[in-house]
Amino acid sequence: MEIKNIDKLNMRGVIVASPEQLTRGLELAKNIKIKGEFKNVIICGIGGSALPANILDATVTTKIPLYIHRDYDLPASANEDSLIVCISYSGNTEETVSALEKAIHKNITAVAITTGGKLEKMCEEHNIALAKIPAGIQPRSATGYLFSALSTILNNCGIIDDISEDILNTAEELEKINSNLEKEGKALAKKLADKIPVVYASNNFKVASRIWKIKFNENSKIPAFHNYFPELNHNEMVGFTDKKMASGFYVLIIKDKKDHERTLKRMDLTSLILKKKGIKNSFIETVDGSIILKFFEILLLGDWTSYYIAINNKIDPTPVEMVEEFKVMLNK
């Protein structure tokens, strides 16, 4: 069976074109400039729409405290000195809509990033700044748009330094290596056949391990787990004691040569112990370059790996039928 007969909504095309999102996102938000002496920034989002906030928090230093809110309403830290950033790809995510409603009710400065929906209508009605990004793909596949738009807004507000050049360079480099990453991801997908992936990373890259886990869930439609060093050496690794039970897992270790030297040693020893237990594992090493390039290169490899697991299992990687079914049930 040809790939196009499985990948009916052309996720492969979305992954191929994903580096362009980083460049486009900068343009879409360049004119959003919000005045204010903010003392904290609260980014409200959930699911794929919250991932850019996690990446930014892991890669960029903010000049004021940054909080990520994955829930209804607003956290207790929200006040008149806050900047509320509401991110919902669809514009209809009920948790994020409720956050914007609460910001409006409390007269707290807000800005939104979305493709449309309720968020866009609320922004129009209440004269709230809006960065509108292209629709037509899954929220988890729009990370480039959302990250670049978010970073541009925060830079324009003086909350972070300008990282646009780094983003442009990252997009250019990803274009060059994308085909090689596809080949690497395709090969890795074969290793993971009939296994449950467990993705480990240093504390610096734990966000990347989490996103890999999410991509395995939503693209590959399989269970997956993630954790980070050194924490996992104090608890989770003991869970691999029973060889029979642990044999169904495959451990992937994201490794950056600039990780703490003791963390690097922990990674090597963990790999060794797992192999002695008969548990297959592999290292995934980051490329040389900026922290933003490293993150997006690793994430792009995760896209390809999770994509080809789905293809190998003859599953369309795009739809998330369980999520859609759950939303229908929730609204009854």
Q: Whole-angstrom Cα distance, residue 116 to residue 133?
A: 8
The token duo for 328 is: 């229908």
Q: Do 206 and 155 belong to one domain?
A: no
CA nearest neighbour of 209 among 260, 166, 252, 161: 252
Residues 171/152, Cβ–Cβ less than 8 Å: no
Q: Is residue 142 part of a domain?
A: yes
Residues taking part in catalysis: 218, 234, 327
Residue 249, SS3 per DSSP? strand
Q: Is residue 190 part of a domain?
A: yes
Neighbours of 116 (CB within 10 A): 16
Looking at the chain, the whole-number percentage of residues with pLDDT higher than 90 is 96
Q: Do 189 and 304 belong to one domain?
A: yes
Residue 290, SS3 per DSSP? coil
Number of domains in the chain: 2
pLDDT (mean) for 51-78: 97
**Domain end point (choices 136, 162, 188):** 162
Cα 171 to Cα 12, 18, 168, 296, distances in angstroms: 17, 9, 5, 9
Q: Is residue 169 part of a domain?
A: no
Identity of residue 51:
L
Region label for 73, one of left (φ > 0), alpha (ψ between -120 and 50) or beta (otherwise):
left
Structural domain containing residue 306: 177-312
Helices (H), 39-159: 51-59, 94-105, 117-126, 143-156
Q: Do 186 and 308 belong to one domain?
A: yes
Pairing of strands 225-229, 281-285: unpaired
Q: Is residue 119 part of a domain?
A: yes
Q: Do 62 and 145 belong to one domain?
A: yes
The token duo for 95 is: 């948790």
Q: Whole-angstrom Cα distance, residue 138 to residue 234?
A: 36
85-123: pLDDT as tens digits: 999 999 999 999 999 999 999 999 999 999 999 999 999
Q: Do 120 and 216 belong to one domain?
A: no
144-154: pLDDT as tens digits: 999 999 999 99
33-47: pLDDT as tens digits: 999 999 999 999 999
Residue 161, SS3 per DSSP? coil
Length of the chain (residues): 332
Q: Whole-angstrom Cα distance, residue 65 to residue 87?
A: 18
pLDDT of residue 1: 60
Q: Do 190 and 87 belong to one domain?
A: no
User: What would you report as the CA-atom Rg of the chain, rounded to the nearest whole angstrom?
Assistant: 20
Whether the predicted pLDDT of 23 surpasses 90: yes
* Burial of 266 (C-beta count, 10 Å sphere; 0-12/13-18/19+): buried
pLDDT of residue 120: 98
Handedness of CA 214, 220, 221, 226 (dihedral sign): negative
Q: Is residue 238 part of a domain?
A: yes
pLDDT of residue 327: 87
Q: Is residue 147 part of a domain?
A: yes
Q: Is residue 328 part of a domain?
A: no
Q: Do 95 and 186 belong to one domain?
A: no
Q: Whole-angstrom Cα distance, residue 301 to residue 292?
A: 14
Neighbours of 145 (CB within 10 A): 27
Q: Whole-angstrom Cα distance, residue 43 to residue 146?
A: 12
192-248: pLDDT as tens digits: 999 999 999 999 999 999 999 999 999 999 999 999 999 999 999 999 999 899 999
- The more confidently predicted of residues 2 and 22 is 22
Which residues, 6 or more positions from 297, have their beta carbon under 8 angstroms from its beta carbon? Answer: 173, 174, 177, 181, 286, 287, 289
Q: Do 307 and 199 belong to one domain?
A: yes
Q: Whole-angstrom Cα distance, residue 115 to residue 131?
A: 8
Looking at the chain, the whole-number percentage of residues with pLDDT higher than 70 is 100
Average pLDDT, the chain: 97
DSSP 251: E
CATH number of 244's domain: 3.40.50.10490
272-315: pLDDT as tens digits: 999 999 999 999 999 999 999 999 999 999 999 999 999 999 99
